[in-house]
């Protein structure tokens, strides 16, 4: 496509003919629908400036009908070059304006009964090309204009773009003309226009629940696999999510333009791992455009229409939400049954709150009001919710007057990883508070409670869905809100049982008494089932690593001759810090890793305290497995010795389990610091030096009289 | 509403900053936030006019390896009639003349520093003194000091200087070991040192100092002890002991890093400091400032103006003055300095302030400078200027160090108060000083702590916050 566009810039007329006749007739029906024509390519050619004038005049007319009347048949309908180029330019140009024109004529969603609607999602391992493929589909259908708008169109957050991940669900509605097989097109009846909803879901395990809710709104998925890398851990996890939801799976082997691409091997993997028919796989390159034209026809032909009932009371699935400064909370929804009209009174099942549907519409790709959403359709609702906390992912929304059975599968957010967040500079608590408040407006899945640490002052205990979620939250706090934070070592929710039968869930190790009055009789920790896929030569080191992390092997098999598939049960605690990096480094980056939450299991856990001059540092307390306590204690003490500066007195660093000291280091007292003379000319210089020294102290955290540099807390994150 | 009713009540409850009584700790807890606004933020009254002058004579034969001062290396071929000398002194006198006299107070101290002032011919020194006398007047009993280096003067020159009024000599000996003097690039040897000492003594200069540098590269404990013994044997009235600073941009800065061989380790260097304190103390020298020792009554009056945060003039290349509350540094390059003098004459620049000083700056300077002295910080004066909450906070932050012996609290008779007695209202803490040698050794660390206290008084409470705290208290 890019090549065409280039030649078109030079030879606009010639290009039209080229596009008209270079395509294989097998795909002509679908290919030359109006949507494709107007989006295929629009040459950015200054020589065609006069045409945009024409487009302005023509824009007033109904674009849709115009395009329909212009029933171009490349084989029979020869039009003069001049006239054609002009009309085409009108059609091709300004796809955004076209959509504006369409909005002005307000899209009539009633033209799209469920049988003309397809709801699908794209699932893939990270970097297998999901976002680029989504971009191409949006371009192909004219939803966005090629070369305009940023790449990874649906990934709106900076963190998503930087990391190439999706953390929030997005939807996009596309229109696509296609004649379904068997439909006789020769009688002059035009091909029906389909409404396609692409529901972009997060790919990571932390968001498994969000993904499952997004998938619940779909009837099928494109399972995208990199042609060179083949099936990876996230591919497996995502496949099973889709498979268990009974979705139609359309395998797409992407990036076939790569020199190392081996689609046949991938087909074989798909067959052996998932029992997917090799002949069903579509071969594409989202980069070069090769094979893309098969995708939407396959979506329409293979994925069933949404099954909802139009005549039933309204049931809507809440997919995700975000906060807009001007409009408040905007919810992405899928209408499962019934119809939603603007002005309807609606209620949310999980919260019991009622709202009015102030504005509804579709994402095309931006908010496009339609006044109505019908069965099977996907769009947005603005309802005056004040906070995204009211918009629970997976909740059912219904007409207030007509209570319904909620849709299955709703679960409140489950927080698996906890960490304390403190302002790096103690005086910045208000700033951090503000930043967190604003960020949680857009990420309601974080649980926030205030906590106080003697070392770090006022801060927050935050619960996250998982590691990536935590990381993303930190990154967004820093990037979007400029907050500087100290984070305590992430921990998982443990359960301790005491001799009196009472149980305590511990989200912050400091809250577990070091010398409890009641004896601890049992402890449980959350575990995960981890999927690891590695080239076979790395099996040795990986098994060693996983055993060190108290992993228990559940499955071991070959995907093909070169790659191993392993399943392990691992304590969540063991993968919270640094597991993935370690795995990557021992496998030169070839390992892929994914996990799903599993049950709590009993374990021999102890609380490890760090004491500075006999005073426990609450923010440094951790819960570790008994067998590892000594090693971890020694490592922590050593690390701290290296990062805490000498002070005017001796400092003892101790690691302790209860009242038993298991490791000790000493930092000897400072003997002397700079003793410059101080005469008239030196006063200013000396002052500056001392003020700098004072500023340095101010940034330190203090326990008893010991100053702890922030670096110490960052270092602790590196010991597991 | 709340503000208008509460504020007057609050002020009525608040004692005046100059309350004669030592406020109780409870009082400190309840009122600090607003108090400092009343006491620290307003500017202190304008300082008295200067009665001290520092004169910078930047000439050296060569630059020492540790030196980053603004100096002019003349080279060994230079003669006393070198035009660079007279040209500079000419500009220096023009600067003195062009300076606005702050108020007419005759000078009590004049200090010729360098460089190596003793390289300047007495006739030129005389012209400087004459210019000062004409401009400000010099008191009969004024202390007139000069830094002199061994090998740059003989008995004749010394006598000429004494005739001009010079009555205090600061002799830059630095070390008594040939190899150390050579290693730090000094332009003299041990022979010149001994000769210079003889000359100074023979010319009837009673008040003189030997300056030593501790922690030189390759300096051993024995060498340091030898230097101290020989110093004591020479019977100067004053000894300055400087700890070697490795400054960026110097030869030492390129060659060495502090605490690493061939420089002594931190521990060794601390031992050197303690050794000086012990040996000089045993020889009846008072350790009256971190790096200064003297026989009773022979403190350097000029340097005391610095440590008491009193104003002083500064003239010459790179020198700093403190006039009208402004610390002003002159250009460090000769041509820039000459231009500055020109501009000063034309009224284009002004080297003195308008008499206004920010309270916080003064508080920091006072603490920093006075804690360098054995006299320490006069808490009574400090409280009168800056309010009692700040004093209480200082006591609070230093408490652990009073306990560990780094800080000493003294009553009005300069008797030390034990940490348990700190809250005893009978014995008021009137002075606070750093202990010798342990407290002095960690002076930077300890002074930085005090800075933290002073700083937090200033950057905390906006008025609203102070009010919020108040409201809470009233609710409780």
CATH number at residue A261: 3.40.50.300
Residues B282 and B369 in one domain: no
Residues A97 and A120 in one domain: no
Q: Is the residue at B318 inside a domain? A: no
Average pLDDT over residues A338-360: 93
Residues B276 and B401 in one domain: no
Q: Is the residue at B220 inside a domain? A: yes
Yes or no, beta carbons of B303 and A679 under 8 Å apart = yes
Q: Is the residue at A411 inside a domain? A: no
Q: Is the residue at B188 inside a domain? A: yes
User: What is the per-residue pLDDT for B242?
Assistant: 93
Residues B436 and B391 in one domain: yes
Q: Nearest by CB to B291, from A648, A677, A697: name it.
A: A677
Q: Which candidate, B40, B64, B38, places its Cα nearest to that of B116?
A: B64
Asked whether the predicted pLDDT for residue A608 surpasses 60, the reply is yes
Interface of A with B (CB under 8 A): 647-649, 670-681, 683-684, 686-687, 689-691, 693-694, 697-698, 705
Asked whether the predicted pLDDT for residue B222 surpasses 90, the reply is yes
Average pLDDT over residues A16-41: 34
- Percent of chain B residues topping a pLDDT of 70: 84
Burial classification of residue B172, based on how many CB atoms lie within 10 Å of its CB (0-12 exposed, 13-18 middle, 19 or more buried): buried
Average pLDDT over residues A55-82: 36
Asked whether the predicted pLDDT for residue A94 surpasses 70, the reply is no
Q: Name every chain A residue with its beta carbon within 8 A of the beta carbon of B353.
A: none
Closest chain A residue to B370, measured at CA: A678
Q: Which candidate, A483, A447, A491, places its Cα nearest to that of A467?
A: A491
User: What is the per-residue pLDDT for A245?
Assistant: 85
Residues A241 and A146 in one domain: yes
Residues A274 and A136 in one domain: yes
Q: Which domain holds residue B19?
A: 14-44+358-475
Asked whether the predicted pLDDT for residue A168 surpasses 80, the reply is no
Average pLDDT over residues B45-60: 86
Q: Is the residue at A519 inside a domain? A: yes
Q: What's the CATH number where B172 sits?
A: 3.20.20.70
Among the ranges given (A435-444, B126-135, B313-322, B331-340), the one the predictor scored with the smallest mean pLDDT: A435-444
Q: Is the residue at A410 inside a domain? A: no
Q: Which band of pLDDT confidence, cut at 50, 70 and 90, is reported for residue A545?
A: very high
Asked whether the predicted pLDDT for residue A408 surpasses 80, the reply is yes
Residues A463 and A499 in one domain: no
Q: Nearest by CB to A697, from B269, B442, B448: name it.
A: B448
Q: Name every chain A residue with its beta carbon within 8 A of the beta carbon of B449.
A: 694, 697
| CB contact at 8 A, A123 and A241 | yes
Residues B201 and B62 in one domain: yes
Give A647→chain B minimum CA distance, Å: 9
Burial classification of residue B297, based on how many CB atoms lie within 10 Å of its CB (0-12 exposed, 13-18 middle, 19 or more buried): exposed
Residues A610 and A599 in one domain: no
Residues A639 and A578 in one domain: no
Q: Which band of pLDDT confidence, cut at 50, 70 and 90, is reported for residue A688?
A: confident
User: What is the per-residue pLDDT for A149?
Assistant: 63
Q: Domain boundary at B272, B307, B342, which? A: B307
Q: Is the residue at A428 inside a domain? A: yes
User: What is the per-residue pLDDT for A518?
Assistant: 84
Q: Which domain holds residue A574?
A: 495-603
Q: Nearest by CB to B444, from A647, A674, A698: name it.
A: A674
Q: Is the residue at B200 inside a domain? A: yes
Q: Name every chain A residue with its beta carbon within 8 A of the beta carbon of B290.
A: 675, 677-678
Q: Domain boundary at A586, A603, A620, which? A: A603
Asked whether the predicted pLDDT for residue A282 surpasses 60, the reply is yes
Q: Is the residue at B315 inside a domain? A: no
Average pLDDT over residues A406-414: 81
Burial classification of residue A634, based on how many CB atoms lie within 10 Å of its CB (0-12 exposed, 13-18 middle, 19 or more buried): middle
Q: Name every chain B residue with its beta carbon within 8 A of the beta carbon of A672.
A: 266, 269-270, 273, 441-442
B369-393 per-position pLDDT tens digit:
999 999 999 999 898 888 888 888 9
Closest chain B residue to A646, measured at CA: B445
Q: Is the residue at A412 inside a domain? A: no
Closest chain A residue to B271, measured at CA: A671
Give B266→chain A minimum CA distance, Å: 7
More confident residue, A562 or A406: A406
Tell me the pLDDT of chain A averaged across its residues: 80
Residues A423 and A567 in one domain: no
Average pLDDT over residues A671-700: 81
Q: Nearest by CB to A673, from B306, B442, B451: name it.
A: B442
Residues A275 and A361 in one domain: no
Q: Nearest by CB to B365, from A671, A677, A683: name it.
A: A683
Cβ atoms < 10 Å from Cβ of A76? 7
Asked whether the predicted pLDDT for residue B3 surpasses 80, the reply is no
Tell me the pLDDT of chain B averaged across its residues: 84
CA distance A493 to A207: 18
Burial classification of residue B140, based on how many CB atoms lie within 10 Å of its CB (0-12 exposed, 13-18 middle, 19 or more buried): exposed
User: What is the per-residue pLDDT for B33?
Assistant: 33
| CB contact at 8 A, A654 and B412 | no
Residues B72 and B24 in one domain: no
User: What is the per-residue pLDDT for B46?
Assistant: 58
Annotated binding residue A249: no
Q: Domain boundary at A430, A453, A487, which? A: A487
Average pLDDT over residues A646-657: 93
User: What is the per-residue pLDDT for A131?
Assistant: 84
Q: Give me the phi and psi of A513, to 5 degrees please.
A: -60, 135
Asked whether the predicted pLDDT for residue B437 surpasses 50, the reply is yes
Q: Domain boundary at A572, A603, A634, which? A: A603
User: What is the per-residue pLDDT for A71?
Assistant: 37
Q: Is the residue at B349 inside a domain? A: no
Average pLDDT over residues B349-373: 83
Q: Name every chain A residue with its beta carbon within 8 A of the beta carbon of B319.
A: 680-681
Asked whether the predicted pLDDT for residue B270 surpasses 70, the reply is yes
Q: Name every chain B residue with its beta carbon within 8 A of the beta carbon of A670.
A: 266, 442, 445
A197-232 per-position pLDDT tens digit:
999 887 676 777 888 888 899 999 999 999 999 998
Q: Nearest by CB to B451, from A649, A675, A690: name it.
A: A690
Residues A592 and A625 in one domain: no
B298-308 per-position pLDDT tens digit:
999 999 999 99
Asked whether the predicted pLDDT for residue B127 surpasses 90, the reply is yes
Residues A160 and A247 in one domain: yes
More confident residue, A694 or B280: B280
Q: Which band of pLDDT confidence, cut at 50, 70 and 90, is reported for residue A148?
A: low
Asked whether the predicted pLDDT for residue B54 surpasses 60, the reply is yes
Q: Name every chain B residue with its beta carbon within 8 A of the beta carbon of A687.
A: 364-365, 368
CA distance A413 to A395: 11
Residues B122 and B28 in one domain: no
Residues B64 and B207 in one domain: yes
Our count of domains for chain B comes to 2
Q: Is the residue at A286 inside a domain? A: yes
Among the ranges given (A351-360, A407-416, B120-129, B200-209), the one the predictor scored with the smallest mean pLDDT: A407-416
Annotated binding residue A126: yes
User: What is the per-residue pLDDT for B10?
Assistant: 33
Q: Is the residue at A408 inside a domain? A: no
Q: Which band of pLDDT confidence, cut at 50, 70 and 90, is reported for residue A23?
A: very low
Among the ranges given (A589-593, A684-688, B16-20), the one the predictor scored with the smallest mean pLDDT: B16-20
Asked whether the predicted pLDDT for residue A379 surpasses 50, the reply is yes
A223-242 per-position pLDDT tens digit:
999 999 999 888 888 888 88
Residues A178 and A284 in one domain: yes
More confident residue, A366 or A283: A283
Yes or no, beta carbons of B445 and A679 under 8 Å apart = no
CA distance B393 to B453: 7
Q: What's the CATH number where A357 sits?
A: 2.40.30.10
Residues B149 and B80 in one domain: yes
Residues B362 and B468 in one domain: yes
Annotated binding residue A254: yes
Q: What's the CATH number where A682 sits?
A: 3.30.70.2570
User: What is the per-residue pLDDT for A581?
Assistant: 78
Give B401→chain A minimum CA distance, Å: 9
Residues B26 and B75 in one domain: no
Q: Is the residue at B327 inside a domain? A: no
Residues A211 and A169 in one domain: yes
Q: Is the residue at B330 inside a domain? A: no
Our count of domains for chain A comes to 6
User: What is the per-residue pLDDT for B11?
Assistant: 31
User: What is the per-residue pLDDT for A347?
Assistant: 94
Asked whether the predicted pLDDT for residue B402 surpasses 60, the reply is yes
CA distance A585 to A35: 47
Give B242→chain A minimum CA distance, Å: 6
Give B454→chain A minimum CA distance, Å: 10
CA distance A430 to A254: 48
Residues B89 and B35 in one domain: no
Residues B251 and B108 in one domain: yes
Asked whether the predicted pLDDT for residue A151 surpasses 80, the reply is no
Q: Give me the phi and psi of A596, to 5 degrees please.
A: -130, 150
Q: Name every chain B residue with its beta carbon within 8 A of the beta carbon of A678.
A: 290, 306-307, 368-369, 372
Q: Which band of pLDDT confidence, cut at 50, 70 and 90, is reported for residue A675?
A: low
Q: Is the residue at A307 inside a domain? A: no
């Amino acid at each position: 496509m890019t090549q065409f566009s280039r030649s078109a810039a030079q030879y606009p007329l010639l290009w039209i003919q080229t596009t008209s006749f270079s395509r294989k007739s097998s795909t002509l029906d679908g290919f030359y629908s109006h949507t494709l024509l107007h989006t295929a390519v629009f040459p950015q050619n200054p020589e065609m400036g006069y045409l945009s004038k024409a487009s302005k005049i023509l824009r007033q007319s109904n674009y849709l009908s115009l395009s329909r009347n212009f029933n171009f048949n490349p084989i029979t309908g020869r039009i003069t070059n001049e006239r054609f180029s002009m009309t085409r330019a009108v059609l091709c140009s300004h796809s955004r304006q076209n959509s504006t024109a369409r909005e002005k004529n307000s899209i009539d969603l009633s033209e799209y009964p469920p049988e003309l609607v397809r709801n699908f999602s794209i699932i893939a391992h990270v970097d297998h090309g999901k976002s680029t493929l989504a971009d191409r589909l949006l371009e192909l259908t004219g939803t966005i204009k090629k070369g305009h708008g940023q790449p990874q169109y649906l990934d709106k957050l900076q963190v998503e773009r930087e990391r190439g991940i999706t953390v929030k669900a997005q939807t996009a509605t596309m229109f696509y003309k296609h004649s379904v097989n068997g439909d006789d097109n020769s009688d002059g009846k035009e091909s029906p226009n389909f409404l396609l909803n692409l529901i972009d879901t997060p790919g990571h395990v932390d968001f498994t629940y969000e993904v499952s809710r997004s998938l619940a709104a779909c009837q099928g998925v494109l399972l995208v696999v990199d042609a060179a890398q083949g099936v990876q851990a996230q591919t497996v996890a995502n496949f099973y999510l889709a498979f268990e939801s009974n979705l139609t799976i359309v395998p797409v082997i992407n990036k076939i333009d790569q020199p190392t691409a081996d689609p046949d091997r991938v087909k074989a993997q798909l067959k052996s791992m998932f029992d997917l028919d090799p002949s069903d796989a579509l071969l594409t390159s989202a980069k070069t455009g090769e094979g893309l034209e098969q995708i939407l026809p396959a979506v329409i032909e293979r994925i069933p229409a949404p099954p909802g009932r139009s005549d039933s009371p309204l049931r809507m699935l809440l997919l995700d939400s975000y906060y807009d400064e001007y409009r408040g909370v905007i919810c992405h929804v899928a209408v499962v049954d019934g119809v939603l009209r603007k002005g309807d009174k609606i209620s949310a099942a999980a919260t019991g709150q009622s709202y009015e549907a102030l504005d509804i519409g579709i994402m095309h790709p931006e908010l496009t009001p339609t006044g109505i959403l019908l069965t099977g359709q996907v769009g947005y609702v603005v309802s005056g919710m004040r906070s995204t906390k009211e918009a629970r992912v997976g909740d059912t929304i219904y007409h207030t007057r007509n209570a319904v059975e909620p849709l299955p599968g709703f679960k409140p957010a489950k927080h698996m990883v906890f960490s304390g967040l403190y302002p790096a500079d103690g005086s910045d608590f208000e700033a951090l508070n503000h930043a967190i408040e604003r960020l949680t407006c857009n990420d309601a899945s974080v649980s926030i409670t205030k906590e106080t640490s003697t070392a770090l002052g006022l801060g927050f205990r935050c619960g996250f869905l998982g590691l990536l979620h935590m990381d993303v939250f930190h990154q967004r706090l820093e990037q979007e809100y400029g907050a500087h934070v100290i984070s305590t070592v992430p921990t998982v929710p443990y359960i301790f049982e005491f001799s009196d039968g009472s149980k305590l869930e511990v989200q912050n190790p400091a809250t577990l008494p070091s010398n409890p009055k009641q004896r601890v009789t049992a402890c449980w920790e959350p575990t995960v089932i981890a999927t690891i896929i590695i080239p076979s030569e790395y099996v040795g080191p990986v098994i060693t690593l996983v055993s060190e992390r108290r992993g228990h092997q559940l499955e071991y098999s070959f995907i093909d001759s070169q790659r191993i598939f392993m399943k392990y049960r691992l304590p969540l605690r063991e993968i919270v810090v640094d597991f993935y990096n370690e795995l990557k480094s021992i496998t030169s980056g070839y390992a892929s890793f994914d996990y799903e939450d599993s049950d709590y299991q009993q374990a021999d856990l102890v609380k490890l305290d760090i004491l500075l001059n006999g005073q426990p540092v609450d923010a440094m307390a951790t819960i570790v497995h008994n067998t590892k306590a000594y090693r971890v204690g020694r490592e922590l003490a050593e690390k701290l010795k290296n990062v805490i500066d000498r002070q005017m007195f001796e400092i003892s660093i101790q690691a302790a389990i209860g009242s038993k000291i298991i490791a000790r280091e000493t930092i000897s007292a400072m003997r002397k610091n700079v003793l410059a003379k101080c005469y008239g000319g030196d006063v200013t210089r000396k002052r500056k030096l001392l003020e700098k020294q004072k500023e340095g102290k101010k940034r330190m955290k203090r326990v008893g009289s010991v100053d702890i540099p922030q670096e110490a807390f960052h270092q602790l994150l590196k010991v597991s | 509403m709340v503000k208008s009713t509460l504020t007057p009540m609050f002020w009525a409850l608040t004692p005046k900053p100059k309350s004669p009584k030592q406020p109780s700790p409870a009082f400190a807890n309840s009122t600090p936030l607003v108090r400092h606004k009343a006491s620290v933020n307003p500017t202190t009254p304008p300082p008295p006019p200067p009665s001290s002058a520092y004169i910078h004579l930047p000439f050296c034969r060569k630059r020492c390896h540790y030196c980053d001062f603004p100096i002019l290396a003349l080279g060994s071929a230079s003669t006393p009639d070198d035009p660079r000398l007279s040209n500079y002194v000419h500009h220096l006198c023009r600067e003195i003349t062009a300076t606005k006299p702050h108020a007419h107070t005759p000078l009590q101290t004049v200090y010729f520093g360098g460089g190596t002032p003793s390289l300047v011919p007495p006739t030129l020194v005389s012209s400087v003194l004459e210019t000062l006398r004409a401009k400000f007047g010099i008191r009969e009993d004024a202390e007139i000091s000069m830094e002199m280096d061994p090998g740059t003067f003989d008995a004749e020159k010394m006598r000429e200087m004494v005739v001009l009024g010079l009555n205090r000599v600061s002799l830059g000996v630095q070390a008594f070991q040939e190899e150390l003097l050579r290693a730090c690039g000094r332009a003299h040897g041990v022979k010149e040192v001994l000769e210079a000492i003889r000359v100074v003594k023979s010319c009837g200069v009673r008040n003189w100092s030997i300056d030593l540098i501790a922690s030189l590269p390759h300096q051993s404990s024995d060498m340091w002890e030898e230097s101290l013994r020989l110093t004591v044997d020479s019977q100067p009235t004053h000894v300055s002991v400087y700890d070697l600073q490795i400054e960026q941009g110097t030869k030492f800065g390129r060659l060495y890093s502090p605490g690493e061989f061939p420089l002594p380790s931190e521990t060794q260097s601390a031992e050197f400091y303690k050794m000086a304190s012990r040996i000089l103390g045993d020889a009846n020298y008072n350790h009256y400032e971190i790096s200064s020792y003297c026989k009773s009554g022979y403190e350097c009056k000029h340097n005391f103006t610095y440590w008491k945060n009193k104003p002083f003039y500064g003239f010459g290349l790179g020198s700093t003055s403190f006039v009208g509350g402004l610390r002003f540094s002159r250009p460090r390059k000769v041509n820039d300095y000459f231009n500055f003098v020109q501009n000063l004459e034309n009224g284009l620049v002004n080297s003195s302030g308008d008499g206004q000083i920010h309270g916080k700056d003064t508080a920091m300077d006072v603490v920093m400078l006075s804690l360098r002295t054995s006299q320490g910080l006069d808490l009574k004066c400090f409280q009168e200027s800056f309010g009692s909450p700040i004093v209480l906070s200082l006591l609070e932050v230093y408490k652990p160090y009073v306990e560990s012996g780094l800080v000493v609290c003294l009553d009005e008779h300069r008797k030390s108060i034990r940490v348990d007695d700190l809250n005893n209202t009978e014995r008021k803490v009137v002075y606070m000083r750093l202990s010798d040698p342990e407290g002095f050794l960690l002076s930077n660390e300890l002074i930085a702590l005090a800075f933290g206290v002073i700083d937090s008084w200033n950057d905390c409470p906006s008025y609203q916050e102070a009010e919020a705290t108040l409201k809470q208290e009233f609710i409780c």
